[in-house]
Amino acid sequence: LALATFIALGIGLHNLGEGLAIGAAFAAGAAGLGTFLVLGFMLHNITEGIGISAPMLKKRPPLWAFVGLALLAGGPAVVGLWIGSLAYAPQWSALALAVGAGAILQVIVEVTAYLMRSDGRGPALTAPATMAGLAAGVSFMYVTAMLVKV
């Protein structure tokens, strides 16, 4: 349970930055951007529950343990949203969006470092599946950017 708690705490701190970005987008009047941030972060966060619960599978803790870990991981996003939504001044909105971008950059750096390690058959960073995923992600980013009014 201790490892799962530390994983949930790390994800919660990461989600605080995501909440700041969402709140700042809505505070800046960019409802379209805020909506797409919510959808993007939701897709990104779906897999985080697996990482939190995997260390506990053999012990089968009670349901309240899972609820507590979910609140520890997801609660900071709500707090970040509240703080980010108070960013009425442009400089505070920019700061909150920058923290959110930093949260995204942290994930990119960690995943890239993981992919750069050899998987026994060569570096996974240049594998066709990785390149296809990158191309699909960039394409999706541009398609959604066309739907957001600036």
- 123: which strand partners? 118
Distance CA 85, CA 23 (A): 4
Distance CA 145, CA 141 (A): 6
CA of residue 89 relative to chain centroid, distance = 25
Q: How many CB atoms lie within 10 A of CB 109?
A: 10
Q: What is the pLDDT along the chain (150 residues), one digit of tens a residue?
A: 688 888 888 888 888 888 888 888 888 777 777 788 888 888 877 888 878 888 887 888 888 988 898 899 889 988 988 888 886 677 877 787 787 788 778 777 877 777 677 666 666 767 788 788 889 988 887 887 777 665
Look at residues 70, 93, 78, 9 and name the one whose alpha carbon lies nearest to residue 38: 78
Residue 89: the pLDDT is: 74
Residue 126: the pLDDT is: 73
Element of type H or E holding 27? helix 2-27
Residue 88: the pLDDT is: 67
